[in-house]
Structure 1
Amino acid sequence: MGLRDRFSNYLFKKAEKRGYLDDVLGKSIRYGGVYVTDSNILQSSDVYELLQDISNQMVLADIVVEDEFGNETKDDIALRILKNPNDYLTQSEFIKLMTNTYLLEGETFPILNGAQIHLASNVFTELDDNLVEHFNIGGHEIPPFMIRHVKNIGADHLRGKGLLDLGRDTLEGVMSAEKTLTEKYKKGGLLAFLLNLDAHINPQNGAQSKLINAILDQLESIDEARSVKMIPLGKGYSIDTLKSPLDDEKTLAYLNVYKKDLGKYLGINVDTYTELIKEDIEKAMMYIHNKAVRPIMKNFEDHLSLLFYGQNSGKRIKFKINILDFVTYSNKTNIGYNLVRTAITSPDNVADMLGFPKQNTKESQSIYISNDITEIGKKEAADGSVEGGD
């Protein structure tokens, strides 16, 4: 084992003992009594759906390594590590976690330790006088060749910006509004019952206390809307209900506006995206791909390439998404037909694209062109000869 690997393992173990390398989103922000973290922010269905749509596209991408001439390298150490990042995450889980952390916190720190790659948390970064970035985890400095600082860049050159920062006020309002509505209807729309007594309440009055407890037991046993209870009351007793002071229409109107705003912090106009999903799922997927996914792919490619190969290598890690995955099967069939008839690819390749086994015959691996397709110049000459003939 080389000096670099021994040094890497030493620092890694020191940081690991202090819990700084757990693959969790390490940030927690408190908003008026509500902790907004990685777990409960995803309780907002709109945020969860958008994160899923973006990170799932990242997961479906094929990770390849290209040399300086753009040729793919099949057997590379980076591919083997990314295929099995560590002992507790698969490649899909690692990429999804890296993407979600990047979007929520605005930055993520992949750390390469020998034959494993992890996502570090609680990383302190600073620039020295020579504008070199230093990384510190639990008092231990991590050498830059082991770690990359992947930032969702805004106006700060040293920190990325994510939904937990940018959407602070919106998140507080949306999650509080959702919580109040949920809690209200968990209680059947009622906050409490009011028991009116035409008498002084005396805790020492055993008969009175017994009656109050009996009424309370009856009310608490109403567990669904169709339950019917008959509670006999003596003279001087009456039961009223306290309706919730929450105005549903105002709360829903607020959510209708500000829940959509959360998407803007992820680069998505929710109204546009929703309309596209209704009209054409292919256009919707392409919209989110171009608006959100492609910039993330490019940033991840840059940092992972530097992490694995350094600055002087011609190799580059690439995320490749098959756009045809977003196309309906009927459209994909038409595309395949036109690819064959225009001599772009062979029938075997189209069969593979459509999910059929390749025939592996001479005919199925040949290139064809339709009889109605000719060179433009030849077509004009042919048209002229026809006009001058019989």
Structure 2
Amino acid sequence: MGLRDRISNFLLKQVEKRGWFEDIFNNTIRYGGRYVNDENILESSDVYELLQDISNQLMLANIIIEDNEGNEVKNQSALKVLRNPNNYLTGSEFIKLMTNTYLLHGEVFPVLDMDQLHLATNVYCELDERLIEQFKVGGESIPSFMIRHVKNVGTNHLKGVGILELGKNTLEGVMSAEKVLTDKYSKGGLLAYLLKLDAHINPQNAAQSKLIKAILDQLEAIDESRSVKMIPLGKGYSIDSMKSPIEDEKILAYLNVYKKDLGKFLGINVDTYTALTKSDLEKAMMYLHNKAVKPIMRNFEDHLSLLFFGRNSDKRIKFKINILDFVPYSTKTNIGYNIVRTGITSPDNVAKMLGFPEQNTPETQAIYISNDLSKIGEKKATDDSLKGGEESEEKGNAEN
């Protein structure tokens, strides 16, 4: 059996055994009595939202191939693989999974197996005596030309760092606090009642048992805080409420401080990002793009280019992101209005009339507002009209 078949069979067995997604997300860290792994970390809405915002930008990017002069290269087989990497992931799902794994673990291992692209897990890697990185998956060696080690580099040249490691203490504290609040309110706020009796409870006392059961039924029927129940009690009976020992305000204050720290491990300031999303979504997306997405995108481009084309090729894989995909329709309308307004004020004579500064270029001086059927930038109609005007002027002078 060839090397390619052995690797393919191993990858297939992993998929069949427990599912590729589950296999990718299997690392667990234990701290302070609370387990934090890459499955339950997504239970935290704040972490999930930040991961979604970053990975969605990469997911929506158009992937192209360029030569060393920046010209787009068409009809490359690499693009077919990137758009349909394998039988269980689409191209967009693959990029999103690759990004989330990279952010959580700090490293990800894309494997190119002929016309299929996979993300390998449980990879052991080391540098040999010639400083060439060697890879093993389940004891099987994988040639270095088939696999890339994409790292979120910290201070180690052979291992990346992700949020599970960088933010371990913060994550576990935040998730423990979230779990306490969730458990409290999912269990009715842990509000209990203490029934006091002056006399001993006697199971044989039918009247006493009936009264206790009626009281319990009334208490259990309280399904929300606004409900009011009137329970008439006989002599010797009283009901006291036991308040939950969990103090919401202190836990919420803790979360308000430390949840923001999670953004730092993803490369953004949560306060800045949140403020921008409320005031200007386009600026928020550009902030996220420049602070977090762009470095990841460059790293992915480098490694995928080497994986598909090798070191000696002049071809390069590029991610093209249209930031307008992330802004509302009203913002796009305003952008379109501004473009039209700029076009209207391009001719110097119109700019002067409307109070805008003149550009004083041959192009802006040659444009006439009467050329409404010609596209701005196409000077043929303008040139013809200008030429016709000059001929008329010359003819008039000759006649005189």
* TM-score category, normalised to shorter length: 0.7 to 0.9
Is the aligned partner of 1:22 residue 2:20?
A: yes
Q: How far apart, in 1, do the equivalents of 2:381 and 2:243 lie?
A: 74
Instruction: State the AA in 1 paired with 2:180.
Output: T
Bigger shift: 222-231 or 93-102?
Answer: 222-231
Change (3 A) 1:121 1:201: farther
Q: TM-score, normalised by structure 2?
A: 0.78
Query: Could you say what secondary structure the match of 1:72 adopts?
Result: coil
Q: How does 1:77-226 map to 2 (within 5 A)?
A: 77-200=77-200, 212-226=212-226
Q: Given that residues 134 and 142 in structure 1 are in contact (C-alpha distance below 8 angstroms), is that contact kept between their aligned partners in structure 2?
A: yes
Partner of 2:5: 9
Q: TM-score, normalised by structure 1?
A: 0.80
Instruction: State the AA in 1 paired with 2:254.
Output: Y
Residue 200 of structure 1, CA deviation: 4.3
Bigger shift: 264-273 or 114-123?
Answer: 114-123
Residue 156 of structure 1, CA deviation: 1.3
Q: How far apart, in 2, do the equivalents of 1:368 and 1:239 lie?
A: 90
Residue 363 of structure 1, CA deviation: 4.8
Change (3 A) 1:77 1:197: same
Partner of 2:335: 332
Q: Given that residues 109 and 120 in structure 2 are in contact (C-alpha distance below 8 angstroms), is that contact kept between their aligned partners in structure 1?
A: yes
Residue 175 of structure 1, CA deviation: 1.1
What RMSD in Å do the two structures reach over aligned CA positions?
A: 3.0
% of aligned pairs identical? 66
Q: Given that residues 150 and 303 in structure 2 are in contact (C-alpha distance below 8 angstroms), is that contact kept between their aligned partners in structure 1?
A: yes
Q: Given that residues 282 and 324 in structure 2 are in contact (C-alpha distance below 8 angstroms), is that contact kept between their aligned partners in structure 1?
A: no
Paired residues, what number? 349
1:132-180 deviation digits (Å, cap 9, x = unpaired): 2222222212221221111111111111111111111111111111222
Q: How far apart, in 2, do the equivalents of 1:17 and 1:309 lie?
A: 28
Change (3 A) 1:212 1:165: farther
Q: How far apart, in 1, do the equivalents of 2:58 and 2:170 lie?
A: 26
Q: Given that residues 285 and 323 in structure 2 are in contact (C-alpha distance below 8 angstroms), is that contact kept between their aligned partners in structure 1?
A: no
Residue 61 of structure 1, CA deviation: 1.2
Residue 261 of structure 1, CA deviation: 0.4
Bigger shift: 111-120 or 24-33?
Answer: 24-33
Instruction: State the AA in 1 paired with 2:40.
Output: N
- Structure 1 segments, 4+ long, off by >6 Å, are 202-207, 339-343
Q: How far apart, in 2, do the equivalents of 1:87 and 1:123 lie?
A: 22
Residue 39 of structure 1, CA deviation: 2.9
Query: Could you say what secondary structure the match of 2:69 adopts?
Result: coil
Change (3 A) 1:77 1:202: farther
Q: How far apart, in 1, do the equivalents of 2:381 and 2:106 lie?
A: 51
Q: How far apart, in 1, do the equivalents of 2:203 and 2:120 lie?
A: 59
Q: How far apart, in 2, do the equivalents of 1:75 and 1:342 lie?
A: 39
Q: How far apart, in 2, do the equivalents of 1:368 and 1:222 lie?
A: 78
Question: Which structure is higher in helix share?
Answer: 2
Partner of 2:388: none
Q: Given that residues 46 and 259 in structure 1 are in contact (C-alpha distance below 8 angstroms), is that contact kept between their aligned partners in structure 2?
A: yes
Query: Could you say what secondary structure the match of 2:39 adopts?
Result: helix
* Structure 1 unaligned residues grouped into runs of 5+: 344-361, 372-390
Q: Given that residues 110 and 147 in structure 1 are in contact (C-alpha distance below 8 angstroms), is that contact kept between their aligned partners in structure 2?
A: yes
Change (3 A) 1:307 1:157: same
Change (3 A) 1:30 1:202: farther
Query: Could you say what secondary structure the match of 1:135 adopts?
Result: strand
Query: Could you say what secondary structure the match of 1:73 adopts?
Result: coil
Q: How far apart, in 1, do the equivalents of 2:18 and 2:82 lie?
A: 21
Q: How far apart, in 2, do the equivalents of 1:369 and 1:57 lie?
A: 41
Query: Could you say what secondary structure the match of 2:192 adopts?
Result: strand
Residue 285 of structure 1, CA deviation: 1.1
* Structure 2 unaligned residues grouped into runs of 5+: 348-372, 383-400
Partner of 1:55: 55
Instruction: State the AA in 2 paired with 1:329.
Output: K
Is the aligned partner of 1:367 residue 2:373?
A: no
1:213-272 deviation digits (Å, cap 9, x = unpaired): 554343233222343434444443322111112222221111111000000000000111
Residue 58 of structure 1, CA deviation: 0.7
Q: How far apart, in 2, do the equivalents of 1:368 and 1:323 lie?
A: 31
Q: How far apart, in 1, do the equivalents of 2:380 and 2:339 lie?
A: 13
Change (3 A) 1:226 1:324: closer
Query: Could you say what secondary structure the match of 1:124 adopts?
Result: strand
